[in-house]
A and B are shown apart, each in its own frame.
Chain A
Amino acid sequence: MTDPLDPPEIDPTDLAASSFIDRTSDDRTSDDEAYAVDPPELADRVNQFRALSSALSEPVVPPTDDVRDRQIAHAIATFGTLATAVEGNVGTAEPTSLAERRATKSAPRWVAVAAAVGLIAIAIPVLNALRNPAGDQQTTVMSASTIDSGTAAVTGVQTVPISRTPTSNIAAAPNSEIVPTTQPHPNNSPLVAQNSSVLGDVSTAEELGGLVSISMPADPPVGDGGSTPATSLPPLSTASPGMTRRATTSVCDANVQAIHPELGAPELITSASIDGVFVEVFVYNADATTGARYRILVVTPPQCQIIIDTLV
């Protein structure tokens, strides 16, 4: 077989016909015109190539506006990640290869993710139990907890505020273990306050389970906005001196909202690195008709593919 990069002698008729139709009329000389129509074989070839060219130039039907918007939003979400990385002086992010990105879709890893989501789900009542009754600001503490559960190792479960904070407000965090943020909530709804003295020390599923057993009995009904069992828990602590304030942008927030606009703003966005796979977890108040309290979506940046959609 001939190397396509070093083609053999090309038929001069084909080359002449192809070149002829690609010239603008201004470029053509009288010789060109005569040559193109004189030998019948060449004239036929010109007509064939011209017809092919015309057919290929027929407009391609573009995707719907919705698809276009979603794809662009996805790309821009990737841009947000890049901007954050650069601002954090992490270095220039190289594009992830197609193979690497698609490799993250391998099923076995989702098993670990699914197992981790169970833990995240049972952690939510704990978060609610620690809800800040003031409600005008949110204090969210990123915990460096490591939760081992069978096949899943949830490392660095982080709760992040629901905000679209400009990256210019982001400061590097010298202590990556516990990073508090204080952000007004866009919906003015009560927000999660997580006490680092409680969850920050959790290192095993058993410890987390212990906390759940304390807080679950007072679990309030959906949307009642009422009491929480916070009084039975240690007093809420605010950011410790010396902690660095930081906001973490969500890669998939825009995509998830584009896919599920009916869900509105999430109650909570959580990110985690699970068995080497970075995921974002979006927690919404569930539709009252479902009988569940929360709807949880787990997505995988940068594709923002929803891998888990569950009610708890």
Chain B
Amino acid sequence: MIAAAQAGDASALDALLRLHYDRVYAICRRMTGNDHDALDATQDALIALTRGLPRYDGRAAFSTWAYRVATNACLDELRRRRRRPVPDSDMMIDAAPASGIPLDQTITDRMVIDDALATLAPDFRAPVVLRDVLGLDYAEIAEVLEIPAGTVRSRIARGRKALAEQVGWNQMPSGDVETKAHD
């Protein structure tokens, strides 16, 4: 399919993009924090994938390359917007969680998660998203982000720590992990 798409087969390209669309969108949705920016970033990623396809050399798995392109598209989007995402109304929960609901259920509220993710600098947000949204392991994330696996490990840990603070689990300083560092 990849070879056919590279050779100019539009139907193969269509199938290839459809195959990866949902995951590309998932990356963008979590990275940007709202539907509108996610769609913009997804469109940019699809175009970048299409235009970069002739140069894809097969050294990395296509999915790895696709996630790298998608992540870069999202980082471009974040750099361009340079603003904190505004939660979408459709992402609001219908009602406040009833008392007694465990914390781990409370934080499944997407708005809380999106807000918490938005506080992370993109360098930390990306590995967390790739790990927890796509389920990539450290080696795969290292390949996607082109950073050492040890760095992936530490950034995920630091990112999670910052997220935990954002949802109010502790008040430990998060330092440079927060997004204000890059604003």
- Which A residues fall within an 8 A CB radius of B? 1-5, 7-8, 10-11, 14-15, 17-19, 22, 45, 47-60, 62-63, 67-68, 71-72, 74-76, 78-80, 82-83, 86, 92-95, 98-99, 102, 167, 302
Contact = CB atoms under 8 A, between A and B. Distances in A.
B110 interface: yes
3 closest cross-chain pairs (CB), A and B: A51-B104, A18-B157, A56-B132
A3 B176 CA distance: 7
A83 to B, nearest CB: 5
A76 B17 contact: yes
Contacts of A48: 160, 164, 169
Given A4-B181, A55-B108, A56-B133, A72 B21 contact: yes
B86 interface: no
Given A52-B160, A58-B110, A86-B54, A63 B39 contact: yes
B50 A82 contact: yes
A4 B157 CA distance: 13
Dominant SS among interface residues on chain B? helix
A295 B169 CA distance: 59
Interface string B151-168: 101111110110110010
Contact of A62 (B22, B107, B110, B155): B22
B164 A4 contact: no
A18 B132 contact: no
Interface residues of B, number: 66
A18 B156 contact: yes
A82 B54 contact: yes
The interface centre, meaning the residue of B35, B51, B107 with most chain A CB atoms within 10 A of its CB, is: B51
A156 to B, nearest CB: 24
A80 B158 CA distance: 43
Nearest to A75: B46
Contacts of A10: 154, 157-158
A195 to B, nearest CB: 34
Contacts, number: 155
Given A71-B43, A72-B46, A98-B80, A2 B17 contact: no
A140 to B, nearest CB: 24
B160 to A, nearest CB: 5
25 contacts: A2-B176, A7-B158, A15-B157, A22-B137, A48-B160, A49-B164, A51-B107, A52-B163, A53-B131, A54-B108, A56-B117, A56-B129, A58-B108, A58-B113, A63-B42, A71-B21, A72-B17, A72-B18, A72-B46, A74-B43, A75-B17, A76-B50, A80-B10, A82-B54, A102-B80
Contacts of B43: 71, 74-75
Given A49-B160, A56-B30, 9 more contacts: A14-B158, A15-B153, A47-B104, A52-B167, A60-B25, A63-B35, A63-B42, A68-B21, A75-B46
A55 B113 contact: yes
Contacts of B70: none
Contacts of A302: 47
A18 B153 contact: yes
Nearest to A18: B157
A71 B158 contact: no
Contacts of A75: 13, 17, 43, 46-47, 49-50
B26 interface: yes
B29 interface: yes
The interface centre, meaning the residue of B18, B52, B158, B161 with most chain A CB atoms within 10 A of its CB, is: B161
B42 A71 contact: yes
B159 to A, nearest CB: 9
Contacts of B22: 62
A53 B25 CA distance: 18
A249 to B, nearest CB: 11
A57 B133 contact: yes
Nearest to A15: B157
Interface in B127-183: 128-129, 131-133, 135, 137-138, 151, 153-158, 160-161, 163-164, 167, 169, 175-177, 181-182
A65 to B, nearest CB: 10
B108 A72 contact: no
Contact of A14 (B53, B129, B157): B157
Interface string B105-137: 001101001000100010110001101110101
A76 B14 contact: yes
A45 B55 CA distance: 43
B88 to A, nearest CB: 11
